[in-house]
Amino acid sequence: MKRERQFRKLMVSLFAVSAMVAVAQGYTYHTAVSEYTAMVKETDTFFDRVRYARRLTAFLAEAESGQRGYLMTGNIAYRKPYDQSINLLKSVMADLLANMPKEREEEIAKVKAAVATKMAEMHRTIEVFDGQGYEAALRIVKTDEGKDSMDVARSILERFIAEDLAVSNRLHGEMAAQSSTTSQRWLYLTASVLIGLFAGMAALWRTSRKIGELAAVLEHEAHHDVLTGLPNRKFFCETLDYVIAVARREKRRIAVSFLDLNGFKAINDELGHDIGDLALIEVSKSLKEVFRESDFAARLGGDEFVVIIHSVDDACNVCSRIKEAIHTTTHPDFKGKQLGTSIGIGVFPDDGDTVESLLAVADARMYEQKQAKKAGKTISLCSICQSDTICPESIDTSNGLAL
């Protein structure tokens, strides 16, 4: 009788411990997922700031290059990159202003003023060159008004980029540390329960299995997008860095395709964020169906995706399949609204030899495609599409499917 009571007490204790472990496990999992989701959103914000600051710096440099080329040669061909960059600068400046925090308002105002001064100086030199010639334009350039404004804007933007990248890297580190710490904590708890409660092996085995599943989930989420299941930015950058190293060793070219959805904002704003999330999920499913085993796709954040294409010769064909897959993505909840995509391609080593440089080139080309579509124009997808005959020279942008 005494032994039975002791056995019952032991079983009650085992069930109580198992219940507490299950409750603690569920609470920790919920907390970890919530914190991870918040970190992802915060990282996306910093990434957008860096992206717009880099675009502004790049378009300023392209505009100045076109201006200098025109002043030195008088060749009207140099006016085209100048005019395109000036138009894009206005749009990028608006995006930058909309995404910067309040504490940077004063410095952003300086950037805005410096950019306006630089644009005015470039416009004035071209007008003077057309009317009075090279020497008169050169005197304006030698005042260094444009150079000083350019230096002010570049200095502030480079500091913003460095600060935001530092915060973004810190957040990525915290996300990885969170996954590792949670896994270790639960593994230690499992070992303690197994040693102290050997008689409850069956119940503790179930608990240990769930702990292992939790660790696997957290490990997966540290490298994958929670919403779509695609690899996330961190996993993509690590993979692209490795692929670049292999391509450099084998002396071959690879391509990075940068995708931005057209029509997504209308779905997200008009039908609600839940339908917007559904659109991202459906697009991810469509992309997975057209990818080959050798392709690697990831979601950077928002409605932006990237693809690593191991063979440059296949780059434009892959992008055509992606465009068609997104175009055919539909769902009754979309209420007839259609999705499309703008795509830019960066080629290693032609356009850069680092993860950052390839992403910057592909992003800039994607942005030019999107702006061209809004203006009802068509432009080349990338340098390889200009030099080879991989894809048509003219891309139809009337139905929202511009590459």
Q: Which residues are catalytic?
A: 303
Can you tell me the distance from the alpha carbon of 298 to that of 209, in angstroms, rounded to the nearest whole number? 30
The helix (H) or strand (E) run that includes residue 298 is: strand 296-301
Pair 195, 187: CB distance under 8 Å: no
**How many CB atoms are located within 10 Å of the residue 104 CB?**
15
Cα–Cα distance list, 154 to 110, 130, 151, 201, 352 (Å): 11, 29, 5, 64, 21
Spatial distance between the Cα atoms of 157 and 163, rounded to a whole number of angstroms: 10
Residue 21, C-beta contacts closer than 8 angstroms, at least 6 positions apart: 189, 193, 207
Count the helices and strands in the chain (H runs, E runs).
12, 4
Q: How many residues does the chain have?
A: 403
- Integer-rounded Cα Rg, in Å, for the chain is 27
Positive or negative, the CA dihedral 394, 258, 92, 114 is negative
> How is the beta sheet containing 340-348 ordered, strand by strand?
296-301, 304-309, 254-262, 340-348
Helix (H) / strand (E) containing 79: helix 79-99
Q: What six digits make up the tokens of 123? A: 């416009």
Dihedral sign computed on CA atoms, order 44, 45, 46, 47: positive
| Amino acid at residue number 268 | N
Question: How far is residue 87 CA from its own chain's centroid?
Answer: 24
Q: 262 and 402 in contact (C-beta within 8 Å)?
A: yes
* 3 state SS of 244: helix
